[in-house]
């Protein structure tokens, strides 16, 4: 008995003990009951007294429901894939595609082999590495995925206090077009038949604030030219607030009339058919056969990327994103004096912060607003500034 006490005092213990602890290759492990089943967990220490404290913490965590799950032992790519599969039923298809892109990047570049190996030091090093090739926004999106996976495995709490997202610029990347740029864009877009879809969709975005995914998700029943409205569904937008009815001005109504004519010619005739049917003959990698039909009205076109790049380059606006037309529309609404709540209702915003993110009032509008409140300079007459400058030059 005396020899056993000496061993414990020196930081060791007999190979087995009756307190739920045992050693494997010198490392203490605990056997505790989790969900009605016995689990063996490594305590990551060779010191017996530390192992007893660690076991007590594990038992407390299990009672609070915060004990790491079996996912902690999984390879990182398997844990991320399982999380993605679990979210498939409650996320939009566009969000699923985005998450899978982020997951592939994490699987390639994140240094941890298993989910339980992830530490706050690894996360900080990964953030610094990825900032060399990605924007702060993209890095934070990747970190969002790893954070949600760690939460699913009950592993996030241990590193949450040490995590800091990368600081993002306060001003978003969106841009609003000057009047001459807007005129050039639509003049060029209308000049070639192969740009017709991109042209009509651009008119729609610039006159309704609709996102690309909201336009591609429109069905025949969502377009009402008699009432001059479109109905944007929850399935095609980002949030519940994005589900809305948007009135149409003349330009948007004209663009939708052209797209409806095209849809009818391509076989979209039923109310649940898409306004932009998918071109199956271009889906060379798709497993679904065309069945003799070039277009599938039950599926929708994803984008018009090639046409958009070509026409923006021809208009001298290379690098202009299609989403910038949403920024442009919201900016014009703000400059027109429309109340904030009206803009947020049209655009589907949920907060004032999002309105500020999108609304980039141009310098010309700010200059006009300042000029409107000019009180003049004491001692000066009402002579226009241009006339005074010319008179001074002549003298």
Q: What is the DSSP letter of 273?
A: S
Helix (H), strand (E) at residue 259: helix 250-265
What's the pLDDT score for residue 3?
Answer: 35
Mean pLDDT of 90-95: 74
Is residue 247 a contact partner of residue 265, using CB atoms and an 8 Å limit? no
Q: Is the pLDDT of residue 378 over 90?
A: no
Among 87, 85, 36, 43, smallest CA distance to 62 is for: 36
Q: What is the DSSP letter of 72?
A: G
- Tell which of 114, 130, 162 closes a domain: 162
Inside any domain, residue 84: yes
Terminal C-alpha separation, the chain? 113
Inside any domain, residue 358: no
What's the pLDDT score for residue 7?
Answer: 37
Higher pLDDT, 288 or 159: 159
Are residues 118 and 54 located together in one domain of the fold?
A: no
What's the pLDDT score for residue 8?
Answer: 38
What's the pLDDT score for residue 169?
Answer: 75
DSSP per position, 78-101: HHHHHHHHHTTTSS-HHHHHHHHH
Domain that holds residue 6: 2-67
Which residues are within 8 A (CB) of 73 and not within 5 positions of it... i.e. 6 or more apart?
114, 115, 116
Among 104, 123, 101, 102, smallest CA distance to 112 is for: 123
- For residue 137, the domain's CATH number is 1.10.150
Inside any domain, residue 192: yes
Inside any domain, residue 365: no
What's the pLDDT score for residue 381?
Answer: 53
d(CA 133, CA 70): 34
Inside any domain, residue 33: yes
Q: Is the pLDDT of residue 246 over 50?
A: yes
Mean pLDDT of 270-299: 75
In which band, very low, low, confident or very high, does the pLDDT at 281 lie, cut at 50, 70 and 90? low
Are residues 20 and 50 located together in one domain of the fold?
A: yes
Quick one: tokens of 157? 């709490």
Inside any domain, residue 370: no
Give the SS3 label for residue 113: coil
Inside any domain, residue 308: yes
Are residues 99 and 150 located together in one domain of the fold?
A: yes
Q: Is the pLDDT of residue 218 over 90?
A: yes
d(CA 282, CA 266): 14
Are residues 187 and 290 located together in one domain of the fold?
A: yes
Are residues 206 and 311 located together in one domain of the fold?
A: yes
Are residues 186 and 303 located together in one domain of the fold?
A: yes
Q: What is the DSSP letter of 349?
A: -
Give the rounded percent of residues in the chain with a pLDDT score beyond 90. 38
* Stretch among 91-105, 132-146, 213-227, 331-345 having the lowest mean pLDDT: 91-105
- Tell which of 297, 315, 333 closes a domain: 315
For the ranges 23-32, 165-174, 231-240, the one whose mean pLDDT is highest? 23-32
- Look at the chain and report how many structural domains it folds into: 3
Is residue 51 a contact partner of residue 45, using CB atoms and an 8 Å limit? yes
Higher pLDDT, 291 or 257: 257
pTM (two decimals): 0.64
What's the pLDDT score for residue 33?
Answer: 75
What's the pLDDT score for residue 51?
Answer: 86
Mean pLDDT of 225-240: 80
Are residues 114 and 227 located together in one domain of the fold?
A: no
Give exposure, 72-98, as e/b (b: 16+ Cβ within 10 Å). Answer: bbbebbebbbbbbeeeeeeebebeeee
d(CA 326, CA 305): 16
Mean pLDDT of the chain: 82
What's the pLDDT score for residue 367?
Answer: 76
d(CA 16, CA 20): 9
Helix orientation angle between 179-189 and 196-208, rounded to the nearest 10 degrees: 150
Give the SS3 label for residue 6: helix
Inside any domain, residue 336: no
- For residue 263, the domain's CATH number is 1.10.443.10
- Tell which of 30, 51, 67 closes a domain: 67
The three-state (H, E, C) secondary structure of 195-230, written as one string? HHHHHHHHHHHHHHCCCHHHHHCCEHHHEECCCCEE
Are residues 23 and 85 located together in one domain of the fold?
A: no
Higher pLDDT, 119 or 57: 119
Mean pLDDT of 16-28: 78
Are residues 86 and 127 located together in one domain of the fold?
A: yes
pLDDT digits (tens, 9 = 90+) for 340-351: 888 888 888 767
Are residues 213 and 299 located together in one domain of the fold?
A: yes
What's the pLDDT score for residue 324?
Answer: 93
Q: Is the pLDDT of residue 216 over 50?
A: yes
What's the pLDDT score for residue 272?
Answer: 95
Higher pLDDT, 99 or 220: 220
Q: Is the pLDDT of residue 192 over 90?
A: yes
């Amino acid at each position: 008995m005396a020899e056993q006490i000496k061993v414990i005092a020196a930081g060791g213990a007999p190979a087995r003990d009756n307190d739920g602890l045992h050693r494997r290759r010198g490392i203490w492990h605990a056997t505790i009951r989790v969900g009605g089943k016995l689990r063996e967990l490594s305590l990551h220490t060779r010191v017996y007294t530390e192992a007893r404290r660690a076991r007590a913490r594990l038992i407390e965590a299990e009672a609070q429901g915060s004990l790491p799950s079996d996912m902690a032992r999984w390879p990182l790519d398997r844990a991320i894939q399982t999380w993605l599969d679990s979210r498939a039923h409650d996320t939009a298809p566009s969000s699923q595609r985005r998450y899978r892109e982020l997951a592939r990047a994490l699987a390639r570049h994140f240094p941890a082999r298993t989910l339980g190996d992830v530490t706050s030091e690894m996360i900080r090093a990964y953030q610094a590495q990825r900032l060399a090739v990605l924007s702060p926004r993209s890095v934070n999106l990747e970190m969002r995925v790893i954070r949600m996976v760690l939460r699913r495995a009950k592993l996030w709490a241990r590193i949450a206090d040490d995590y800091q997202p990368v600081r993002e610029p306060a001003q978003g990347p969106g841009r609003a077009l000057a009047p001459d740029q807007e005129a050039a864009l639509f003049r060029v877009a209308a000049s070639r038949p192969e740009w017709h879809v991109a042209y009509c969709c651009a008119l729609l975005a610039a006159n309704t604030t609709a996102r690309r995914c909201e336009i591609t998700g429109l069905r025949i029943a969502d377009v009402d030219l008699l009432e001059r409205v479109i109905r944007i569904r929850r399935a095609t937008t980002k949030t519940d607030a994005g589900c809305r009815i948007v009135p149409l001005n003349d330009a948007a109504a004209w663009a939708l009339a052209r797209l409806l004519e095209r849809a009818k010619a391509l076989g979209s005739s039923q109310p649940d058919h898409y306004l932009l049917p998918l071109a199956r003959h271009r889906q060379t990698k798709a497993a679904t056969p065309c069945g003799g039909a070039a277009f599938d009205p039950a599926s929708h076109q994803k984008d018009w990327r090639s046409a958009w790049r070509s026409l923006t380059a021809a208009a001298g606006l290379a690098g202009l994103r299609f989403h910038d037309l949403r920024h442009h529309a919201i900016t014009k609404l703000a400059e027109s004096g429309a109340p904030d709540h009206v803009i947020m209702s049209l655009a589907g915003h949920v907060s004032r912060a999002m309105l500020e993110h999108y609304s980039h009032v141009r310098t010309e509008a700010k200059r006009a607003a300042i000029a409107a409140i000019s009180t003049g300079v004491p001692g000066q007459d009402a002579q226009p500034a241009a006339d005074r400058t010319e008179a001074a030059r002549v003298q």
